[in-house]
Structures are given as C-alpha cells and as structure tokens.
Homo-oligomer: A and B are copies of this chain.
C-alpha cells in the first residue's frame, strides 16, 4: 500500500506569484480577453477558485500582472544608471546591450506587446505603464544623449526624437519576434540587432 498523495498543498505565500506568472504568460500569448481563468489556474497548478482567493477578479489579476512584472523592470532600469567615465558613446553602447539582454531574458517585450494591445481597454494601466516605465526608461537614454551633445561628442539633434530613434527599433524587433518569430522567414535576433543598431546610430548609412 502506497502513501496517497495529498490533494493539494497550502502554499499561501507562493500562490500569488505563481498565478501571476501563469497569467502573464497566457495574457502575453493570447491577450486579456482571450485568456480564460480556467487556463490560468491550470497552468498555475491550482483551480479556478484559488485564483479568487488572491485576486478580486480577472481585471484585478491583469493589473497585478502588469504591476508586479513592471517592478523588477523598474529596478533593472534604475540599476543600469551609475558611475560612468569615458566617452558617452561607450555608455550608450553599454546601455543598449544591457537593455537588449533584458529584453531577451525577461518578459519586457511581452509586456510591451500586451500593453500595446490592451492600452485602450485599460487606460489607467496604460497611464501607469507610461509614467512608471516608459518615461523613466526614456529618461535614461535621453540623459546620455543630452550629455553627449553637451560634450560635443554627438550632433546637436532633437533629444526627444533621438531618444525614440534609440529605443524604438530595439523594442520593435523584440515585440515583433514575440508575435511573428514562428512565421517570419527573416527573423532577426535581438542580440545581433542591438550591436548593429548601435553601429547605425553612430555612423549612419552613408559611405
């Protein structure tokens, strides 16, 4: 006679994070509306009822997913800034590669895709995302560009535009690969692109 497995375990502390992780994956993959709580629960290894022990409803879970996932993002973004000596271009390069790295190893790209898709359905969340993540991330790159210009290292371009020029391509490549890597014959790796991107930023296309 073998020991029967207990039907479930008490994991009060671990549950929310597990559910959030499962939900994140599914939300990113299918979108908010197309994700069923049953699937979230199954993926988290619990039943639907358990989800409701920790989140008031589906929307609340979505918000938690976004917020909880963005917190490490924030911390990572902040931690990138630090002491720097030497040319600003070197720092820019370093930052870009670090960011590309995060884009590959975290859910950052997925979250971006998700927010792009659901922004109009969750306006306050979109606002939160823009304020807390986007604006801050831009600030980091904008600072570098501004200082580089002040140092005479960069051309005196419009900083806001340049910031977009620095961030948008990398983000797009990552978001794109999330959605189309399976069917795009010319898939491009984020890591490879990051290096190329920096080169293009510096030298431009002209011979």
> CA separation between A32 and B30, bound complex, in Å?
10
Q: Which 4 A-B residue pairs are closest in the complex by CB-CB distance?
A: A204-B204, A33-B33, A117-B117, A119-B179
Are A161 and B116 in contact (CB-based, < 8 A)?
A: no
Q: Is A115 an interface residue (CB 8 A)?
A: yes
Shortest beta-carbon distance from A103 to chain B in Å: 13
Shortest beta-carbon distance from A154 to chain B in Å: 5
Question: Assuming A116-B113, A116-B179, A134-B184, is B31 touching A162 (CB within 8 A)?
Answer: no
Q: Is A130 an interface residue (CB 8 A)?
A: yes
Q: A120-B179, A134-B184 given. 12 additional CB < 8 A pairs?
A: A33-B34, A117-B179, A119-B180, A135-B185, A152-B207, A155-B203, A161-B188, A161-B193, A164-B173, A164-B188, A165-B169, A168-B168
Question: Assuming A117-B117, A205-B201, is B176 touching A168 (CB within 8 A)?
Answer: yes
Q: Is A186 an interface residue (CB 8 A)?
A: yes
Shortest beta-carbon distance from A34 to chain B in Å: 4
> CA separation between A193 and B176, bound complex, in Å?
20
> CA separation between A120 and B158, bound complex, in Å?
37
